[in-house]
A and B are shown apart, each in its own frame.
Chain A
């Protein structure tokens, strides 16, 4: 467990978090390489199935990063994403996976610093939780 490096999947909206990741890069901000970014056209595009499959295929943590409240390019995709995340947290609990491994976060395209901070905090949180129970059982 000492050398546990979590695998974290971040579904990032093209209009905010993905651009914020770029911004973090431009600002030369450091964030953990554990975070694997998947760009989506809107956080509302992220489906329950994407989240389930990410965990099934070995993610220790997953987060969906969408626009700030009221700023969704497609009106309310970020709210829809938040509802799906809340629903999937319940499903993870049913399966026996800690729901804290899944988060919804919101940021704007200019928030490079927030992107880096969220990536760091999520990585630290999952590092403390340890490997996902699925990986732990297989080890």
Chain B
């Protein structure tokens, strides 16, 4: 999933300060799962904004709404009947959702209420870690299902480096060495031959190195 965290309230308030009527939009997908921008978080933020305003003797009208997905035009279209009831939109979706709104409603100011963080998974309730950097050329098949791009601070293709001590990365005691994990896993699977293969330098064009990426499925695209 794409993970996110709510922005500081002061920053959010600074965006919406000039406006009287706000549409606060959540998303039912990734940001709901990582408890950053689903229906509940929309309610908590709306309440926080209202209280901040009331405390300063100001008032604001907040309409709460949560879309099934903010990154798809089909769902964003749902907003057409209500978009004019707001002077500005505050989105709790990831950056993809915010941009989808800004593209569809060109005359409406759209502001992000969360910081989009990374593509990750849940370790346990309330804890998410980065798992994928979308490099566009997945290596997991030869690294025992452990990603050296997302998990190695240097994104080494042939690790570990000299900063790996007892399975821990030199950047911090809490950071596991990705290549140590890869070695241990390949050993457990009896696949150490894969480790001995020297991997060539990575072609970063597939990872966004040659500009914004796009997928066109000709069997689907109209």
Q: List the B side residues contacting A53 at CB < 8 Å.
A: 43, 47
Q: Does A1 contact B (CB under 8 A)?
A: no
Q: Does B57 contact A (CB under 8 A)?
A: yes
Q: With A56-B47, A91-B48, A94-B8 in contact, do A49 and B40 touch (Cβ < 8 Å)?
A: yes
Give B48's nearest chain A residue, CB to CB: A95
Q: Does A130 contact B (CB under 8 A)?
A: no
Closest CB in chain A relative to B12 CB, distance in Å: 10
Complex Cα distance, B129 from A114, in Å, reads 42
Q: List the A side residues contacting B48 at CB < 8 Å.
A: 52, 91, 94-95
Interface pair B55/A97, CB less than 8 Å apart:
yes
Interface pair A52/B54, CB less than 8 Å apart:
no
Interface pair B47/A49, CB less than 8 Å apart:
yes
Which of A55, A56, A95 is the one whose CB lies under 8 Å from B9?
Answer: A95
Interface pair A137/B55, CB less than 8 Å apart:
yes
Q: Does B51 contact A (CB under 8 A)?
A: yes
Q: List the A side residues contacting B9 at CB < 8 Å.
A: 91, 94-95
Give A52's nearest chain B residue, CB to CB: B47
Q: List the A side residues contacting B44 at CB < 8 Å.
A: 48-49, 52, 91
Closest CB in chain A relative to B17 CB, distance in Å: 15
Q: List the B side residues contacting A56 at CB < 8 Å.
A: 47, 50-51, 54
Give A55's nearest chain B residue, CB to CB: B51
Q: Does A134 contact B (CB under 8 A)?
A: yes
Complex Cα distance, B8 from A94, in Å, reads 8
Q: List the B side residues contacting A134 at CB < 8 Å.
A: 51, 54-55
Give B10's nearest chain A residue, CB to CB: A94
Which of B8, B10, B40, B55 is the one whose CB lies under 8 Å from A47?
Answer: B40
Residues of B39-53 whose CB lies within 8 A of A: 40, 43-44, 47-48, 50-52
Interface pair B40/A137, CB less than 8 Å apart:
no
Interface pair B43/A95, CB less than 8 Å apart:
no
Q: List the A side residues contacting B8 at CB < 8 Å.
A: 94
Q: With A47-B40, A49-B40, A95-B9 in contact, do A133 and B55 touch (Cβ < 8 Å)?
A: yes
Which of B40, B43, B55, B57 is the one whose CB lies under 8 Å from A96?
Answer: B55
Name the 5 nearest CB pairs between A and B, nearest first.
Answer: A52-B47, A134-B54, A94-B9, A56-B47, A133-B55
A residues with a Cβ closer than 8 A to B are 47-49, 52-53, 55-56, 91, 94-97, 133-134, 137-138
22 pairs from A and B in contact (CB 8 Å cutoff): A47-B40, A48-B40, A48-B44, A49-B43, A49-B47, A52-B43, A52-B51, A53-B43, A55-B47, A56-B50, A56-B51, A56-B54, A91-B9, A91-B48, A95-B48, A96-B55, A97-B55, A133-B55, A134-B55, A137-B56, A137-B57, A138-B54
